[in-house]
Amino acid sequence: MTIHKEGRGLILATTTIAVVLNVIVASVPSYFSPGFYAVLSTSVLVLSIVVLILVLQFFRLPSIEVIKNESQVLAPADGKVVVIEETEEPELLKSKRKQVSIFMSPINVHVNRMPVAGTISYAKYHPGKYLVAWHPKSSTENERTTIAVKMKNGTEILFRQIAGALARRIKWYVKEGQPMEQGDEFGFIKFGSRVDIFLPLDARVTVKIGDVTKGGKTVIAEF
């Protein structure tokens, strides 16, 4: 278990603020009664520890073993399946696809991983709103990235990182023409968010609404 690079600055800032705050509280005991000061100092210390633990757990980066399989589609993120439906993909594919959406809560690992191997054929960032991630319009109106990968057999898979009400920063590490392996990290979304993946109509979805997924581990579809 390590800490993701996206969290290092925030963790440093949080630690610094916590230390400064506790030093300030420790320097003013004479201004309060002994009983009140004991409660105040203990409360500030406990709150500092809790906040730091929450930040650390959000940016945790567990090591995983990816079992690669060209006939399987792996979950791009940890979270819960909230949408499985047939829909039109209007931005790039412009055809009907099976959509699987995974919602990531603040307690999930927020690393995003490649669902299949192939070459990045499309990558575009879209500024937008910050509707709650499960809102039906979040896929088209929220801040998001659209990324597509073309597999060796010519099949193109498209997926979107979608910001939520809390997620205000999407990071992606791929560019068009870049080869990627199944399970490779392609991005990160800070705080609650969602990933949509658009599959060919002949793909067999192997998850159901409410299923919990692990990025790079859970098989969400098969060809």
Does residue 75 contact residue 56 with C-beta atoms inside 8 Å? Answer: no
Instruction: Show the DSSP H helices in 27-108 as ranges.
Output: 34-58
Question: Are both 149 and 168 inside the same structural domain?
Answer: yes
Does residue 7 contact residue 106 with C-beta atoms inside 8 Å? Answer: no
| pLDDT computed for residue 130 by the predictor | 63
Catalytic residues: 193
Q: Is residue 66 part of a domain?
A: no
Supply the range of the domain harboring residue 52: 2-61
List pLDDT tens digits, range 87-123: 999 999 999 999 999 998 878 888 899 999 999 999 9
Question: Are both 87 and 137 inside the same structural domain?
Answer: yes
Question: Are both 56 and 109 inside the same structural domain?
Answer: no
* Domain count of the fold of the chain: 2
pLDDT beneath 50: ranges in the chain: none
Euclidean distance between CA atoms 105 and 163, whole angstroms: 12
Alpha carbon separation from 21 to 45, 48, 165 (Å, rounded): 9, 9, 29
List pLDDT tens digits, range 53-74: 877 777 777 788 899 999 999 9
Does residue 143 contact residue 128 with C-beta atoms inside 8 Å? Answer: yes
Question: Are both 54 and 107 inside the same structural domain?
Answer: no
Euclidean distance between CA atoms 168 and 19, whole angstroms: 26
Question: Are both 91 and 121 inside the same structural domain?
Answer: yes
Question: Are both 107 and 168 inside the same structural domain?
Answer: yes
Q: What is the pTM of this model?
A: 0.80
| pLDDT computed for residue 127 by the predictor | 87
Q: Is residue 67 part of a domain?
A: no
Phi/psi at 113 (nearest 5 deg)?
-120, 150
| pLDDT computed for residue 136 by the predictor | 60
**Nearest residue to 187 (alpha-carbon basis) of 120, 133, 93:** 120
Question: Are both 36 and 86 inside the same structural domain?
Answer: no
